[in-house]
Amino acid sequence: MRGIYLDRESELPLRRQIYQALRDQMTCGILKAGEPLPSTRELSTDLNVARSTVSEAYEMLIAEGFVLSSQGAPTKVAEGLAIEREAGLESAAETQPRHACKADFRTGRPDLRQFPRYLWQQTVNKAAEEMTTEQYGYSGAQGMPELRNEIVGWLFRSRGLDVNAADIFITQGATHALHLIAELLGGEGKEILMEDPCHTGMLRTFLNQGCRVVPMPADEHGLQTALLEHAARAQAVYVTPSHQFPLGGILTASRRASLIRYARGSNSYIIEDDYDSEFRYCGEPVAPLYSMDPKHVIYVGTFSKSIYPALRVGYVILPRELQALWLRLRTYTDVQNPILEQAALATFLGTRKLDRHIQRMRRVYGERRKALLDSIAHTFDREWHVYGDEAGLHLTVEFPGLSFDGDFRKSALEAGIDITPVEYHCIEKGTHRNKLLIGYGHLDPEEIRRGIELLHRHMEEYFG
């Protein structure tokens, strides 16, 4: 029989190769409706394979209705199989050339070189060993009870927050949490007030869910709550009160109180995104807004910065009235978190390994922050001001009189410097043109010093 080429080295069994070749001939019309197939004896001789191999291929074709077989009569091609070939597929592979990066000032990156890999491996191993058979099955949309209990203890130790494990819902990180929260609040067409500037990724997450985002200006003390008086009633207000992203301020106590009064008065929710406040260099982590009103605040926490980004475990603390709906939405969105990370993280928290890791990293990041501040002071002759350096893995530098835009960013990239103007994270453009964001957590002091020198040289060239 023409056109059947068998590859005897292939991992694909011969019966399947025969089946596929015949099927292809039928769908592209080489073998036509009603045409008889050769007998299994003929074809096996032709192809030099066992007759049973051909029979198996034919049985597959019969089972799927490609050919019809009736006692005694030869096997014939079924009706209506031919489909026209379409033009070849074009490749969609998009490859962007990336310049060699000499100074990587991107934000939100913990130093993975300092992650206690060996301890973590041991923890994963132990967790996998101790897993029960039931835990391999569907174990629930709310998340592993042991993990939720450990998070209660961790929130108490690290932030003095007193919550009930029943109010904690495990997520796959903060983005996933916001995606579900947008759905929870009604999605399509619902209004969300957002701090401006804010993290572009979080803005996108709300916009993709069809929310109408209303920007609310933030300054170095966080969201300007006085403006809430004139704001339309919204479904929710998104804030980062412990370390405003990207400007870095702590929302002041009186603004906290007005925000909560606004939420109560308009019966809306406050979405509190606490993305990196465990790394605080001046005093203790700030107390979450959540503790001031558990009925109006949705607290969003993540372990992406304190453990590692590819862990994909975060959590929300939800007001009671939203809990049943959340579970339904989660079940029909992605069912639940995988079990392995949940079990390992529960053990990591329970044995206080995370506490120790964070304590160590706070020291490490603190030294880097100092190296960065020293470098800036030492390198720049022109006027500059630093904001938001009291916590987290990044800070903001203002250079009065300069203007950083997309062009500047591109030119910097070409010079090997990956740095983001604050303007990039602005909803209303134009207010923060003179500020740059510097992520430093993942860089050692020497990398920081070299990076700042490079940046300085590039700015001299660019602005003349």
Residues facing residue 270 across a β-bridge: 237, 297
Does the protein bind a second copy through residue 367 (CB under 8 A)?
A: no
3-state secondary structure of 70: coil
Does the protein bind a second copy through residue 139 (CB under 8 A)?
A: yes
Q: How far apart are CA 282 and CA 392, in angstroms?
A: 11
∠ CA 408-411-412, rounded to 5°: 85
Q: Could you say which of 227, 335, 414, 457 contacts a second copy (CB under 8 A)?
A: 335
Does the protein bind a second copy through residue 109 (CB under 8 A)?
A: yes
Does the protein bind a second copy through residue 428 (CB under 8 A)?
A: no
Output the smallest distance, CB 341 to a second copy, in A.
Answer: 5
Q: Could you say which of 30, 101, 227, 257 contacts a second copy (CB under 8 A)?
A: 257
Does the protein bind a second copy through residue 333 (CB under 8 A)?
A: yes
Output the smallest distance, CB 460 to a second copy, in A.
Answer: 32
Q: Could you say which of 32, 99, 102, 117 contacts a second copy (CB under 8 A)?
A: 117
Q: Could you say which of 30, 83, 101, 377 contacts a second copy (CB under 8 A)?
A: 83
Q: How far apart are CA 79 and CA 82, in angstroms?
A: 8
Q: How far is CA 189 from CA 293, 298, 328, in A?
A: 26, 20, 21
Does the protein bind a second copy through residue 219 (CB under 8 A)?
A: no
Q: Could you say which of 50, 101, 131, 227 contacts a second copy (CB under 8 A)?
A: 131
Does the protein bind a second copy through residue 386 (CB under 8 A)?
A: no
Output the smallest distance, CB 70 to a second copy, in A.
Answer: 16
Does the protein bind a second copy through residue 125 (CB under 8 A)?
A: yes
Q: Could you say which of 223, 228, 250, 452 contacts a second copy (CB under 8 A)?
A: 250
Q: Could you say which of 294, 301, 388, 392 contacts a second copy (CB under 8 A)?
A: 294
Identity (one letter) of the amino acid at 424?
Y
Does the protein bind a second copy through residue 73 (CB under 8 A)?
A: no
Does the protein bind a second copy through residue 347 (CB under 8 A)?
A: no
Nearer to a second copy, 115 or 462 (CB): 115
Residue 317 DSSP class: E
Output the smallest distance, CB 125 to a second copy, in A.
Answer: 5
∠ CA 322-326-329, rounded to 5°: 140
Under 8 Å between Cβ of 168 and 152: yes
Does the protein bind a second copy through residue 261 (CB under 8 A)?
A: yes
Q: How far apart are CA 396 and CA 387, in angstroms?
A: 5
Considering only the stretches 34-42, 173-181, 378-386, 402-410, report the one whose residues sit in contact with a second copy under the rule CB under 8 A.
Answer: 173-181
Q: Could you say which of 74, 338, 400, 406 contacts a second copy (CB under 8 A)?
A: 338
Nearer to a second copy, 19 or 105 (CB): 19
Q: Could you say which of 1, 4, 20, 351 contacts a second copy (CB under 8 A)?
A: 20
Does the protein bind a second copy through residue 45 (CB under 8 A)?
A: no
Output the smallest distance, CB 446 to a second copy, in A.
Answer: 18
Cis omega (within 30 of 0) for bond into 246: yes
Under 8 Å between Cβ of 318 and 169: yes
Q: How far apart are CA 125 and CA 114, in angstroms?
A: 20
User: What are the φ/ψ torsions at residue 200 (nearest 5 degrees)?
Assistant: -55, -35
Does the protein bind a second copy through residue 32 (CB under 8 A)?
A: no
3-state secondary structure of 43: helix
3-state secondary structure of 444: coil
The DSSP code sequence of 119-141 is: HHHHHHHHHHHH--GGGGS---T
Does the protein bind a second copy through residue 336 (CB under 8 A)?
A: yes
Q: How far apart are CA 358 and CA 281, in angstroms?
A: 12
Q: Are strands 420-421 and 435-439 parallel, antiparallel or unpaired?
A: antiparallel
Does the protein bind a second copy through residue 366 (CB under 8 A)?
A: no
Q: Are strands 76-77 and 67-68 parallel, antiparallel or unpaired?
A: antiparallel
Q: Could you say which of 2, 8, 72, 94 contacts a second copy (CB under 8 A)?
A: 94
Considering only the stretches 56-64, 191-199, 369-377, 432-440, report the one whose residues sit in contact with a second copy under the rule CB under 8 A.
Answer: 56-64
Considering only the stretches 20-28, 227-235, 408-416, 425-433, report the one whose residues sit in contact with a second copy under the rule CB under 8 A.
Answer: 20-28
Q: Are strands 191-196 and 236-239 parallel, antiparallel or unpaired?
A: parallel
Output the smallest distance, CB 15 to a second copy, in A.
Answer: 7
Q: Could you say which of 157, 378, 429, 457 contacts a second copy (CB under 8 A)?
A: 157
Q: How far apart are CA 236 and CA 136, in angstroms?
A: 37
Q: Could you say which of 38, 116, 217, 309 contacts a second copy (CB under 8 A)?
A: 309
Under 8 Å between Cβ of 432 and 426: yes
Q: How far apart are CA 26 and CA 1, in angstroms?
A: 14
∠ CA 200-389-207, rounded to 5°: 10
Does the protein bind a second copy through residue 264 (CB under 8 A)?
A: yes
